Structure 1
Amino acid sequence: MELAKYKACICEGAAKNAIIDILLDHNLLIFTREEMLEEEVIRCRDGKHFEEKYLRKGFLDKISVIRILDSRRENFKLSKSIQPD
């Protein structure tokens, strides 16, 4: 899998956030902290809030959104204009 230049790693809870931080600190993921938006894991459950805070800032390149979740019922939707081709 090839990721975009910018990455947004989104976790829903503190435990998942801590695990991703450990994996990042030990270079065990296919991306580094330096490639991530704000160089940190984002805690956000609402797609609209994430879109307003991060995606509407005028990035010239695409952003890969990596979501870590454990609930299949969670609803995280982005605007159709934001979604990939």
Structure 2
Amino acid sequence: MHKSLYGFDGPLAAPQPALSPARQLAARALRQSSRWLARLARQIAMRRSLARARRAPELEFYAEAGAPEGALYLDGELVGYIPGINRL
């Protein structure tokens, strides 16, 4: 008797015969490498977010020629303008 498998979009393909040992080994190595890279990416992202959280915010005001008049930046992002200020 043949079992039919159904997914969200209809019937799935019939199960494939067993793979050769070399292909199974390659598939296992690829899955383990994928897990290791995903874990490494999560660790790097967590370290970066912790480093950003530890760093005190930088308040910036540019007074050079050509800088926006009275522009106020926080960590490199424009947060507003100081009214009535042209240059420091």
TM over 0.5: no
**Higher Cα radius of gyration:** 2
Of structures 1 and 2, the one scoring higher in RCO (CA 8 A, sep 6+) is: 1
